[in-house]
Amino acid sequence: MSALLRHGRYVLGENPVTAVAFGLFVVLILLALVGPSLAPHDPLASDTARKLEPPSARYWFGTDQVGRDILSRVLVATRLDLAISLSAVTLSFVVGSGLGASAGFFGGWTDRIVTRVTDTIMAFPLFVLAMAIVAALGNTLANIVYATAIINLPFYARMARAEVNVRREAGFVEAARLSGNGSARILTVHVFPNCLPPMMVQASLNLGWAILNAAGLSFIGLGVRPPTPEWGIMVAEGAAFIVSGEWWIALFPGLALMLAVFCFNLLGDGLRDLIDPRRRT
């Protein structure tokens, strides 16, 4: 454990950008956990007497078209958007990497089936496919997670298949096989852990894409339903008021969305350096 902590300090000290990304990630997690408690006002309470007020000492981010506090809504929306992205990426990572690793290690009909499934998904424009799934099943929170997971699944399946296919004939695999290990144990204990570094980078990138996908679905009316606070809904509601000068309605949730995607994109390199066994020297 001490060696792992020393390695983590070395990686963060060597690359300040990685430290900034991890710092932003910690801030996002904390806001997701305690954001509703920090909200200065009820995010759902409307006050038409104070609608469209610009940022001020009382309303730091201003108010929207029905008088709701934008800062409170941005803070509360952090939990929902992170929950959607983390759930979708976790589901697609587990299912996709499992299918891809099995296809790359065993080959044969397993490889053919998994390849055809991923090719079929990739044949569609991914956001359009997510729209079709949510429109067909209904725009509930669970269906948004499923749709986001389905469109991200081919990335992990293809990457896991390629990484396992390269390593399945390696010397350490042959040594494990000669030691009496079964195929399932060799795959899960010896081969798959060595495939994690590039997949962690992909998972970090997919977290940002998942947030953008959820926000995009909400923007076009197929995501989370109003008046639930969600960054995509808030940007969509504020877009109509930019021309008339009420810029703050769309700006602040858009900045929160941008910072989250920026954080996850930068996080990938740091995760690769932390997990890659070749860096632990």
pLDDT over threshold 70, residue 170: yes
pLDDT over threshold 70, residue 167: yes
**Contacts (Cβ under 8 Å, ≥6 apart) of 10:** none
Closest CA to 223 of 80, 25, 11, 74: 80
pLDDT, tens digit (0-9, with 9 covering 90-100), for 57-70: 888 999 998 889 99
Closest CA to 62 of 255, 261, 273, 275: 255
Mean pLDDT check: name the lowest of 143-147, 197-201, 262-266: 197-201
96-100 average pLDDT score: 91
Q: Where are the domains of the chain?
A: 2-279
Rounded CA-CA distance 19/9 in Å is 9
According to DSSP, residue 53 is labeled: P
Which DSSP string do the residues of 211-256 spell out, in sequence order?
HHHHHHHHHTTSSSPTTS--HHHHHHHHHTTTTTT-THHHHHHHHH
pLDDT over threshold 60, residue 125: yes
Task: Kindly report the CATH class assigned to 2-279.
Answer: mainly alpha
